[in-house]
Copies of this chain bind each other. A is one copy, B any other.
Amino acid sequence: MRVSEVWEQVAQDEGGRIVLLVMDGLGGLQLPGKGGSELQVARIPNLDRLAAESSCGLLEIVGAGITPGSGPGHLALFGYDPLRFMVGRGVLGAMGIDFDLAKGDVAARVNFCTVDAQGRVIDRRAGRIDDATNRRLAEKIRAGVKLTGAQFFFQTEKEHRAVFVLRGADLSDALADTDPQHTGVPPHPVRATSPEAEATARIVADFVAQAAKVLQGEPKANMLLLRGFGKYHPFPTITERFKLNGVAIADYPMYRGVARLVGMEAVPPPGGVEQRFETLERLWGRYDYYFLHIKHTDSRGEDANFDAKVAALEEVDAYIPRLLKLNPDVLVVTGDHATPAALGRHSWHPVPFLIRSRWSTVDEVTRFDEVSCARGIFGRRRGCEMMGLALAHAERLEKFGA
């Protein structure tokens, strides 16, 4: 029996309200000349005070040395071990645009791209066409492509990005990306990576060929690149597993998608940090579990902009008193992975976390940063263990065994 199966067995319908505040890419790294990591340098008096009143620790989101993508990172925080619950990026993309996936659908992420007269990719993002152009071309593809053997859906995401979904019997997602990841070469042909995907590969190849014809003559977006094929298997929801009625307050499709995948409701994108906290206030009392996602901490880390990431952390810090006015029974603050500005990308480094509740042991930690939280009473643990702690502190788990 797994620890998470015990949570499922002893989870109660009633209990406290949990807020999960995710600062995307929270974890950082010391940068020479800056005097510490982003969190060590940031002036975050409210988060520091929270740390002083809370139980703290470090999350190794997936496992030792593993750099999580956003999907696994968030699944872990929601209590889904990413080593057991795997999901293709295409599925997340489809969920993120509120596409209603059915069991067995195969989804892929799409880039509109530009190819030259020889069919070589010269811009993998088709000059970042605007949303209106994307919608016009998607409509053209839906009208102009006729498949046999399966039904397809083609939906605009934003800019040059779209989602492709294939629906039919016995489809397989064992398909290689057609995106060559660099320019100067043609897109890869659609290729099955396993014999049972041959039929699906033929249908997708037919789709790509017909779409290319439809897009012929377009100045920028004259071809498609597909990647991250994934077959949709519904996950057990957080309601089924943990008896939680959850809501996601997030702007970006990816995060809304992964939240919907585990059965949260995803309210319309609030459109800004302040608006996200306002939305939380507005929804307060309607759910048991509130997932509030902050994106720009990660974005500034990916920009390799240390000072901007520090500023992003300080901006979020200023909203903490407002959040505390709601008096959540359990407040968790953490991230889905590290994005050190020093690296300019996601990393494997541990992510600080704190749980503030009436039942939290107050440990020695008085600063919310990587080094301070290493002394926390929660120690270092895998990301997917945090949900059990949050449920326990919300008095949502009964005793195990007599």
Please give the residue numbers on chain A whose beta carbons come within 8 Å of chain B beta carbons, in ascending order.
1-3, 6-7, 10, 29-30, 37, 58, 62-73, 82-84, 86-89, 92, 228, 254, 340, 342-343, 345-350, 359, 361-364, 370-371, 374-381, 385-393, 397-402
20 A-B pairs with CB atoms under 8 Å apart are A1-B86, A2-B83, A3-B64, A6-B62, A6-B83, A7-B66, A10-B66, A30-B362, A63-B385, A63-B388, A64-B389, A67-B392, A68-B400, A82-B400, A88-B402, A347-B359, A347-B392, A374-B379, A375-B375, A379-B379
Given known contacts A374-B376, A374-B379, A392 and B82 CB-to-CB distance under 8 angstroms:
no
> Measured between alpha carbons, how far is A402 from B88 in the docked complex, in Å?
8
Query: Does the CB pair A346–B399 fall under 8 Å?
Result: yes
Query: Does the CB pair B388–A67 fall under 8 Å?
Result: no
Given known contacts A69-B401, A402-B92, A381 and B350 CB-to-CB distance under 8 angstroms:
no
Q: Which residues of B contact A228 (CB under 8 A)?
A: 402
Given known contacts A6-B66, A82-B401, A375 and B374 CB-to-CB distance under 8 angstroms:
yes
Query: Does the CB pair B2–A68 fall under 8 Å?
Result: no
Q: Which residues of B contact A387 (CB under 8 A)?
A: 65
Q: Which residues of B contact A66 (CB under 8 A)?
A: 3, 6-7, 10, 388, 392, 397, 400
User: Shortest distance in angstroms between A291's beta carbon and chain B's nearest beta carbon?
Assistant: 18
User: Shortest distance in angstroms between A298's beta carbon and chain B's nearest beta carbon?
Assistant: 13
Closest to A30 in B: B362
Closest to A73 in B: B401
The residue that A65 contacts in the complex, of B58, B82, B363, B389, with Cβ under 8 A, is B389
> Measured between alpha carbons, how far is A350 from B3 in the docked complex, in Å?
15
User: Shortest distance in angstroms between A75's beta carbon and chain B's nearest beta carbon?
Assistant: 9
Query: Does the CB pair B349–A71 fall under 8 Å?
Result: no
Query: Does the CB pair B401–A71 fall under 8 Å?
Result: yes
Q: Which residues of B contact A1 (CB under 8 A)?
A: 83-84, 86
Closest to A360 in B: B29
> Measured between alpha carbons, how far is A83 from B5 in the docked complex, in Å?
10
Most buried by B among A73, A362, A376: A362
Query: Does the CB pair A370–B374 fall under 8 Å?
Result: no
Query: Does the CB pair A70–B364 fall under 8 Å?
Result: no
User: Shortest distance in angstroms between A66's beta carbon and chain B's nearest beta carbon?
Assistant: 5
Q: Which residues of B contact A398 (CB under 8 A)?
A: 67
Query: Does the CB pair B376–A377 fall under 8 Å?
Result: no
Query: Does the CB pair A69–B10 fall under 8 Å?
Result: no
Query: Does the CB pair B402–A70 fall under 8 Å?
Result: yes
